[in-house]
Amino acid sequence: MDSFFLQQMFNGLTLGSVYGLIAIGYTMVYGIIGMINFAHGEVYMISAYLCAIGLALLSFFGLQSFPLLILGTLVFTIVVTAVYGWVIERIAYKPLRNSTRLAPLISAIGMSLILQNYAQIAQGPRQQGIPTMLDGVFKFSIGDSFVQLTYTKVFILIASFAGMLLLTWIIHHTRLGRMCRATQQDRKMASILGINTDRVISMVFVIGAAMAGLAGVLITMNYGTFDFYAGFVIGIKAFTAAVLGGIGSLPGAMLGGLILGIAEAQFAGMVNSDYKDVFSFSLLVVILIFRPQGLLGRPLVAKV
């Protein structure tokens, strides 16, 4: 197997695992309330700034150990980002829950613009970054092919898959997960049976924002730079991953993220990296035309 192809495959897995984390937020919100949270990309962008702030605060107080530093940064970023998710649901979605379907969509786009401008005013328009935290590479061969993975990318793969496994366990083996699945299947019946559906919807926004917070820390560690506009492109790509896997399907979001990441990495390496975003958005258009329900999604059936 060609070394370059294999190297791009691992690069795509790293990128795709992060797309999957962000796509989870889109697919969970859509699965519960049937709406797309277009402010979700900006939640990721906020988490990138929070990652830098958390690192600066912990370093200022003398914490230098990498495991403690990254753990503290992850906890800080995920908790604060989850609060942002809760606030977005309370402000942009809850007051419009019984309105027309178009109203929450417009509200979410407005919230996206508010967060963009808030970050630009508070942190400035210039690109910012953090220093490299984890140096070194793993070098190994597979057959005749030679591949290398940085420690940072290995950490991203481990952390992202751990986050996905934890969320899968929560959804399938906890009381909160059962309430989420019941609300997804029939919100009115779940409410009749005593489930506080308002609280479930808020928790879904919180969980989705927490996954975006984890992704923000991982991507910031990998690339080291970010700005107030960082959430737009990656948010659309994560939405593409959610649609590709099947919007509303949690395994579909993970699968779609991995497929999109690998396809984008191979296109960038073998064709032209300048057009990788065009490739991703073209893929979204093709999916919506030929298989709008995605790989693991189910066609919508009208209830009569």
Q: Using an 8 Å Cβ cutoff, are 221 and 152 in contact?
A: yes
CA quadruple 69, 20, 173, 32: dihedral sign: positive
3-class secondary-structure state, position 161: helix
Higher pLDDT, 210 or 290: 210
pLDDT single digits (tens) 268-277: 888 888 888 8
Q: Which domains does the chain have, with CATH numbers?
A: 3-290 (1.10.3470)
pLDDT single digits (tens) 39-72: 999 999 999 999 999 999 998 888 878 888 889 9
Range 243-257 average pLDDT: 88
Length of the chain: 304
End-to-end CA distance of the chain: 54
Higher pLDDT, 3 or 88: 88
* Closest alpha carbon to 96 in 223, 242, 201, 185: 201
* Closest alpha carbon to 168 in 47, 20, 3, 57: 20
pTM: 0.90
**Amino acid 22: pLDDT:** 93
pLDDT single digits (tens) 164-210: 999 989 988 999 999 998 988 888 889 998 899 989 999 999 999 99
